[in-house]
Amino acid sequence: MKEKKRNYDQDIVGDGINSIQKVLEPASRVSNNTVKYALIGICTLFLLVMLVLPLVVVIVNALKDGWMAYRKAVQDEYTIKALQLTLLATVAAVAINTIFGLFASFLLSKFYFKGRQLLATLIDIPFSISPVIAGLAFILTFGNIGWMGDFLKNHGIKIVFAVPGIILATIFVTFPFVFRELFPVMNAQGKDEEEAAALMGANGFTIFRRITFPHIKWALLYGIILCAARAMGEFGAVSVISGHLRGKTNTLPLHVEILYNEFNTTEAFAVSSILVILAVLILIAKNFVEWKKK
């Protein structure tokens, strides 16, 4: 008796909701659509003005004086040298930060120890620091007034205002990138599989190669791409430490600055277009990896 009544009630409620839904749906869908298209419109406009337009400006200005002028600016001796240095610094930063990212995320995700949280926080520091401060830190360490300055001078090693300084500054700025992509993936995977393999007698390298690595390969590639993007475009830190020696310690972004400050606007934009092309390639690679990851 009691049970029957409850069913009856539920039916009424169910019917009620169904009928409300039927009545409400057409009206709410119309207003939802207006909101939807308004929001999509605002977002598209925002992205066009804020992100796409600056790219268009670079390309248009680069080609303003014609194709020959563009080729001349891009094939300039200093441009080529700057490009080489940028690539060198990027490769070095990616290599070092990949090694660090692999070890650090393995450490923090597979082992539990005191100070784990503190270590994770310390690794993230370069992320929240102004690049200019990063550059200053290296000057205060390795420069003439730095506490290692005398030692380096006596041994004839030049770091500040030289290529090693540029590489160090680039590494510093991109330090947490690979780690940040790897750690969440390794952490989510847990350590059961590695423990099982270890108990069955696999050595550390085999465990990493056969068990950990297959899980993280796309995340690793993703981290490397982000790291390369940031390393290639680093300006503030490198600017402090480079000394702006043309053909020696000039990276591509610094070369852009010099040309721009000399009012060689077209050349500055032409050199910028190389960086824009690299940035777009990186974005495409990034989206491809993101798609593969899923």
Partner 1 sequence: MEQQIIKVKNKKGVRVIPGFGLSLGVTLFMLGTLVLIPLVSIFISASQLSFQEFVNIIISRQIVSGYVVSLSCAFFAALINAVFGLMLAWVLVRYDFPGKRLMDGLIELPFALPTAVAGISLTYLYSDKGWIGSFFDKAGIKIAYTRIGITLAMIFVGIPFVVRAVQPVLEKLDRQYEEAAMMLGASGTYTFFRVVLPELFPALLAGFGLAFARGIGEYGSVVFIAGNIPYKTQIAPLLIMSKLEQYKYEDATAIALVLLLISFFLMFLINSLQIYMQKFSRT
Residue numbers 226-245 binding partner 1 by CB under 8 A = 226, 229-230, 232-236, 239-240
CA pair distance 277, 55, nearest whole angstrom: 10
Nearer to partner 1 by C-beta: 4 or 26? 26
Among the listed ranges 4-12, 57-65, 70-78, 215-223, the one in contact with partner 1 (CB under 8 A) is 57-65
Q: Which amino acid is at 20?
A: I
Cα 170 from chain centre: 13
Q: Which is nearer to partner 1, 2 or 158 (CB)?
A: 158
- Interface pattern 260-289 for partner 1 (x via CB under 8 A): x----x--xx--x--xx--xx-xxx-xx--
Secondary structure of 40-64 as H, E, C letters: HHHHHHHHHHHHHHHHHHHHHHHCC
Give the E-state strand segments of 29-170 in sequence order. none
Q: CB of residue 43 vs partner 1: minimum separation in angstroms?
A: 5
Interface residues for partner 1 in 70-129 (CB under 8 A)? 96, 99-100, 103-104, 106-107, 110-113, 119, 122-123, 125-126, 128-129
Q: Judged by CB under 8 A, does residue 18 bind partner 1?
A: no
Q: Kind and range of the H or E element at 199?
A: helix 192-199
Residues 139-198 interacting with partner 1 (rule: CB under 8 A): 139-141, 145-147, 168, 171-172, 175, 191, 194-195, 198
Minimum CB distance to partner 1 smaller for 147 or for 151: 147
CB-wise, 94 or 137, nearer to partner 1? 137
Residues 129, 204: contact at Cβ < 8 Å? no
CA distance 193 to 202: 11
Helix, strand or coil, per DSSP, at residue 231? helix
Establish if 223 lies at the interface with partner 1 (CB under 8 A). no
Residue 138 touches partner 1, criterion: CB under 8 A: yes
190: left (phi over 0), alpha (psi -120 to 50) or beta: left
